[in-house]
Amino acid sequence: MSSLLVEQFLNGIQLGVMLFLMAAGLTLIFGIMNFLNLAHGALYMMGAFFAATILEWSGSFLLAILLGLAASAALGIILDVVAFRRLYERSHFDQVLGTFALILFFNDLVVLLWGPEPRYMPVPDWLSGSIPLSGDGSYPIYRLLITGVGLGVAAALYVLIAHTRTGMLIRAGATNREMLSGLGTNVRHLSMLVFGLGSAMAGLAGMINGPLIAVQVGMGDAMLIVAFVVIVIGGIGSIAGAFVASIIVGIVDTLGRFLLPQWFGFTAGPALASMANYALMAAVLLARPQGLLGARRG
């Protein structure tokens, strides 16, 4: 039991860092542009399909990730120029409708280009092993790699936001976009950068999760919902809050699905496990309406 708990705990951290890749892009976009982008989950899906296709063509997992990242970032920039800019000054209701339409568009586009059948990304041989845990347990190297990649991206994003001029502009845009524009910063170019960065992170999450699940139509929808839960718990606009909340949500979700069926039976347990993160979100909002690390508003 001890090794199983350790394994599930590590799975929770791995899920958490992957959620961070989704949530960080979302909270950057909403914090700076005040833009609700429901199509973020579609970018997660497109990243997975980009990588799966490149892997089939080239046979190289690393090349698939690198080219998939470039394609995901380019797609985010194209969407910003073609569609999102027309929604910046519109109401959140209009933004929700517009980006929800993009979800339907990308789901149909995937069926048109790749067909309705799932695709599978095999784990490369050099990542297919495992390391021993206490007792007779073991843990896959590939899952450890996902955790390491997510933590590395989180560290790089921290350096970008906190210690570079670009990060200073991003933080200023999150505080007062109109003032930043008045001081001479091209906010449209900044928004392109943010959408490209956020799309690359969402695409990366889809790519590295591809070998663990089937790459299929609509795979980003469930991830989008959990990413919004992370943002609410961590605090809207807070990258640090998104990271802390992602780890918490990942551990709660994974351990809940492992422990609650044992405690409450295999009828009530799974239902309680699926509710755990929403109950956590409600508790956080009752205690801190701005989220764990969000700024208090008005």
Q: What is the pLDDT of residues 263-296, one digit of tens each?
A: 777 777 777 878 888 889 999 999 988 888 876 5
Question: Which residue(s) pair with 130 in the sheet?
Answer: 140
User: pLDDT under 50 in the chain at which residues?
Assistant: 1, 298
State the residue for tokens 């080219």: 67
Query: CATH number of the domain at 2-118+139-287, out of 1.10.3470, 3.30.450, 1.20.1300, 1.10.357?
Result: 1.10.3470
pLDDT of residue 47: 94
Cα separation, 13 vs 254, in Å, equals 9
Q: Hey, how many other C-beta atoms are within 10 angstroms of the C-beta on 23?
A: 33
Domain ranges of the chain: 2-118+139-287
- Asked if 42 and 82 touch (Cβ cutoff 8 Å), the reply is no
pLDDT of residue 298: 47
pLDDT of residue 163: 85
What single string gives the DSSP state of each residue in 243-257?
HHHHHHHHHHHHHHH
